[in-house]
Every structure is written in C-alpha cells, then in structure tokens.
C-alpha cells in the first residue's frame, strides 16, 4: 500500500514518514519546492510540489492509496496567511485527491484547537460544536468543514492535542528555559492539558488507515492522561538533571510579553511563537479532550510514559545539537 504524506519535512510529518516506512508501507514524502529534507529517510520517495497548484498535487498523488494531509501552519503573521495555509491548501488537496482513481482515503491532521478549551475541566467530545478561540483553530475547523462537504473519498479527521517529541522546535523552548535553571507558571492556577508523544500519534494514525470504522469520523488523539503544566517542567528538569527555580508570572505581565512578541513579529515580518494568539491558548485553564470514541471505535490503547518520553526527547535534542 502506498501512502502520501504532505508536510513530510516537518516535525510530525517526518516522524510519520519514518513510522510508515518501518511498518512496511511505500511512502511518498510530499514537500514544498524549497523545503529541506534533513529529517526525511532516504528510502522515502521525495516529491516536491506547489501546494497552490492542483496539477502539481495530481502528479504527486498518482498511484497513491492513502493521503495523509499534514501540511499547514501553526503560526503566521496574519489571518489571511493562516487561512491560506490551512484552509486554502486543504481545498487544493481535496480537489486533487478526489481525482486520483487509486486514492481510497484522505486522513486530515487537524488540531485540538479546532474545538475549544474545557469548561470546568470537563473533557470536550468530538460531537460538541467547535468554538475555536484562535485564528489557527478557526482555520483548522474551516478545513474540517471543507473536507466533510467536498471530499468524495473516505475521510478521517484527527485532532491531536499537544504533540511533543524529537524534532519539535516549539517544545524545545521549554527545555532551554529549564536548562538555564528556570521554570514558570502563568497565574496562580496550574493549567491542565492532554498531550501525546509523536510516536504514539503515528500509531494512532495507523489505526485509521484503510479502516472502514474510521471513515467519516472525527477523533481526538491523546495519550489518555491529564497533565499539569508543572508535571511537564518536573519531567524536563529530571531529564536534564536540573533543579530550576519556578517563577510565577502574573497574567497581566504575561499578556504584555505576548503582545510584545506579536509586535516584534509584525515589525520584522517574522512568525513568532510568543504572540497574542498563542496567549489565548496558554491562558485557558484547561485543554482536555475525551478519547472514549477512539477507544471504542479504533481500539485505541495509549501507552503514556511522560518521564521516559521526555528523557528520550532530551537525548534527541542533544544529539541534534539543539540543547
């Protein structure tokens, strides 16, 4: 069986390529013309495309049984860029995928952000109306709707929660903070969240491949555990053998930092992690998702081990020279 993976050069995409190659699939790694191939195994067939050109995508998807659509943006300078990357590209992917005779299924990697934060710490279910609080979340929800309305193939939508592991440069920033001897908490309430290790996410996605039970379904993907922000810093500190000082940052001060980051991004035309959109996600008390549906329909049995996964991530960062 041949699988095409868009956004194959990124953190999740490159891990998906490795996973499916090791599982015995033929893999087409779909990337932009100017993308680097550092993390893509040489055994994958690398195909460079113009995501804005349906003809280019048609050529890339020829002979493919399954399309895993992972390409997109998590941060952008403005709403237009975000929607073009997440909604616009998805429309092109669907248009091309619909015309590929061999193509059986399109799996879309959406995001927990397409839903909403938890209310009173109650996990959100997939059938609840989406109420995203960020432009990113709104763009992902809009892409989900396009798939439901226009996809002529079998489709599956997966909403991963916070994904971490080797190759993730956003998560790396927390390691760097702890490595300097600090950790932080915004406000006086420890935030709650779900997470999933990238290899676990790959395993989750494989459960959906060519699986009739997954067709026309939307699933949250988590490791089934609820973490406090302090749990993550503690695991990182243990992995790095550090004893960081925890700084409590008032929400008012944190907001100033996020707005300053936003201003920096606009002035220098850079896509920054610290911005007012990210602020909305971080200041929410809880991001919790119910995975009962995945357990029942897919037989999802997560194997959460935060401490070991963080330790392996630290080793990877060091091996790459990032830490």
Q: What is the pLDDT of residues 105-114, one digit of tens each?
A: 999 999 999 9
How many residues in the chain?
323
> What SS3 state is found at 318?
helix
Reduced 3-state DSSP string for 177-229: HHHCCEEEEECCCCCEECEEEHHHHHHHHHHHCCCHHHCCEEEEECCCCCEEH
C-alpha distances (whole Å) from 316 to each of 86, 222, 236 are 29, 22, 13
Domain boundaries in the chain?
2-168+194-224+288-303
Query: pLDDT tens for residues 7-45?
Result: 999 999 999 999 999 999 999 999 999 999 999 999 999
Mean of the per-residue pLDDT values of the chain: 93
The whole-number pLDDT of residue 258 equals 74
Percent of residues, the chain, with pLDDT higher than 70: 97
Q: What are phi and psi of 17, to 5 degrees?
A: -60, -50
Query: pLDDT tens for residues 195-232?
Result: 999 999 999 999 999 999 999 999 999 999 999 999 99
Which two three-digit tokens encode residue 196? 């999933």
- DSSP 8-state symbol, 102: T
The CATH architecture one would assign to domain 2-168+194-224+288-303 is 3-Layer(aba) Sandwich (3.40)
Flag whether pLDDT at 261 surpasses 80.
no
């Amino acid at each position: 069986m041949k699988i095409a993976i868009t956004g194959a050069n990124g953190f999740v995409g490159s891990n998906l390529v490795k996973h499916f190659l090791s599982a015995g699939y033929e893999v087409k790694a779909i990337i932009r013309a100017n993308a680097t191939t550092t993390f893509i195994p040489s055994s994958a067939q690398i195909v460079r495309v113009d995501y804005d050109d349906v003809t280019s995508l048609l050529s890339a998807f020829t002979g493919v049984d399954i399309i895993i659509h992972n390409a997109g943006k998590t941060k952008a300078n403005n709403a237009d860029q975000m929607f073009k990357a997440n909604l616009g590209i998805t429309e092109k992917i669907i248009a091309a995928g619909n015309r590929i005779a061999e193509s059986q299924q399109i799996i879309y990697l959406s995001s927990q952000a397409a839903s909403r934060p938890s209310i009173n710490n109650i996990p959100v279910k997939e059938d609840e109306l989406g109420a995203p609080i960020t432009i990113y979340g709104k763009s992902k929800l809009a892409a989900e709707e396009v798939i439901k309305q226009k996809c002529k193939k079998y489709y599956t939508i997966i909403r991963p929660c916070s994904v971490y592991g080797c190759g993730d440069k956003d998560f790396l920033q927390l390691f760097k903070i702890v490595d300097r001897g600090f950790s932080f908490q915004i406000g006086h309430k420890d935030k709650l969240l779900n997470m999933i290790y990238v290899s676990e996410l790959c395993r989750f996605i494989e459960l959906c491949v060519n699986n009739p039970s997954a067709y026309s379904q939307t699933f949250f993907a988590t490791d089934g555990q609820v973490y406090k922000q302090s749990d993550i810093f503690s695991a990182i500190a243990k992995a790095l053998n550090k004893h960081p000082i925890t700084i409590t940052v008032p929400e008012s001060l944190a907001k100033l930092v996020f707005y300053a980051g936003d201003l920096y991004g606009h002035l220098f035309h850079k896509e920054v992690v610290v911005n007012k959109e990210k602020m909305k996600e971080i200041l929410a008390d809880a991001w919790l998702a119910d995975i009962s549906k995945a357990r029942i329909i897919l037989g999802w049995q997560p194997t959460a081990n935060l401490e070991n996964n963080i330790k392996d991530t630290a080793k990877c960062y060091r091996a790459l020279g990032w830490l």
